[in-house]
């Protein structure tokens, strides 16, 4: 009897050791595709850890352009998307790929470039007029060229200006916003950027804000769960838990208090 009891305790102890040594991959995981601006600014490093801790889950972030983020959602490769191109978001939901879209926050787009401003756009009130001056002067312009939310806005501005950009002055980079700002800095070129990423990179570049304030440059962000009716394997329950977190009072307060090194807010929370 004594030997059997010792053997039983030995088995229990062995099983306990195995459970404690389980790899981190056994942890529940949630897949989030998002635009590069939420990653480049560092916002997600502030916003996600409290959620991960409270829900005992690891959020795997895929930071690409909005267009690519939505494509990942369409294929069911992620559980939710956090992006900024309202027309594309509405299409994503209307076609049945996403459900329960919520407003999260906003900032704005700005046109930045070298301080000497070769196209003389400083003083323009309308972004389309500034784009027209850049094209007419053939001043160097770096485009995201990646179907991101910023690229979608840029295309709309060229259309409003009545211009189809082409030539050696127009460079389609296929890069994220941070890399584009670095390119514009190196080449002394113009680019369109969201304000949050620009403020995060301001100390690393000599680019100046040359146009801001046009209402067409408003830049809202939304978060959307991938539709489980379309892709039954997605983590819909956890996706909705994350959506509830970022739109909660606590999540919105983190966004409100997230600032650049100079103390300027990068995003304005606007969850209803």
Residue 145 lies in a domain: yes
| Residue 57 confidence (pLDDT) | 97
| Total number of domains constituting the chain | 2
Residue 3 lies in a domain: no
Same domain, 210 and 224: no
Domain span holding position 149: 108-217
Residue 87 predicted with pLDDT over 80: yes
Same domain, 15 and 60: yes
The residue among 196, 217, 238 that closes a domain is 217
pLDDT digits (tens, 9 = 90+) for 162-187: 999 999 999 999 999 999 999 999 99
| Residue 269 confidence (pLDDT) | 98
Residues 77, 82, 86, 92, Cα dihedral to 10°: 20
Residue 1 lies in a domain: no
Report the CATH number at residue 232.
3.40.190.10
Share of the chain above pLDDT 70, in %: 90
| Residue 214 confidence (pLDDT) | 97
Q: Work out the average pLDDT over 14-42.
A: 70
**What contacts 188, CB < 8 A, 6 or more positions away?**
113, 114, 140
Residue 16 lies in a domain: yes
| Residue 26 confidence (pLDDT) | 56
Q: How many other C-beta atoms lie within 10 A of the C-beta of residue 45?
A: 12
CA atoms of 123 and 112, how far apart (whole Å): 13
**Tally: H helices and E strands in the chain:** 11, 10
The mean pLDDT value of the chain amounts to: 91
- Continuous segment of H or E residues that includes residue 44: helix 43-55
pLDDT digits (tens, 9 = 90+) for 99-132: 999 999 999 999 999 999 999 999 999 999 999 9
CA atoms of 122 and 101, how far apart (whole Å): 37
Same domain, 98 and 226: yes
Same domain, 97 and 154: no
CA atoms of 63 and 110, how far apart (whole Å): 21
Whether 228 contacts 69, CB under 8 Å:
no
Q: Work out the average pLDDT over 85-104.
A: 97
| Residue 142 confidence (pLDDT) | 98
Share of the chain above pLDDT 90, in %: 86
Cα 113 off chain centre by: 22
């Amino acid at each position: 009897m004594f030997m059997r009891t010792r053997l039983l305790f030995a088995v229990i102890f062995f099983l306990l050791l195995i459970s404690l040594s389980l790899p981190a991959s056994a942890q529940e995981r949630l897949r989030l595709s998002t635009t590069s601006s939420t990653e480049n600014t560092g916002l997600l490093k502030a916003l996600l850890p409290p959620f991960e801790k409270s829900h005992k889950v690891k959020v795997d972030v895929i930071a690409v352009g909005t267009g690519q983020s939505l494509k990942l959602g369409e294929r069911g490769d992620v559980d939710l998307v956090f992006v900024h191109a309202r027309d594309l978001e509405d299409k994503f939901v209307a076609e049945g790929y996403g459900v329960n879209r919520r407003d999260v926050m906003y900032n704005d787009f700005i046109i930045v470039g070298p301080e000497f401003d070769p196209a003389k756009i400083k003083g323009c009130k309308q972004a389309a007029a500034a784009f027209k001056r850049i094209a007419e002067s053939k001043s160097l312009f770096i485009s995201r060229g990646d179907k991101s939310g910023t690229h979608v806005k840029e295309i709309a501005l060229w259309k409003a200006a009545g211009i189809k950009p082409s030539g050696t002055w127009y460079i389609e980079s296929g890069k994220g916003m941070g890399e584009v700002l670095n390119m514009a800095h190196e080449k002394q070129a113009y680019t369109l950027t969201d304000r949050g990423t620009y403020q995060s990179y301001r100390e690393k570049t000599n680019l100046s804000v040359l146009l801001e304030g046009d209402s067409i440059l408003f830049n809202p962000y939304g978060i959307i769960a991938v539709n489980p009716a379309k892709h039954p394997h997605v983590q819909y329950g956890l996706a909705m838990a994350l959506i509830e977190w970022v739109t909660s009072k606590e999540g919105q307060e983190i966004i409100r208090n997230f600032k650049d090194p100079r103390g300027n807010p990068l995003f304005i929370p606007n969850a209803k």
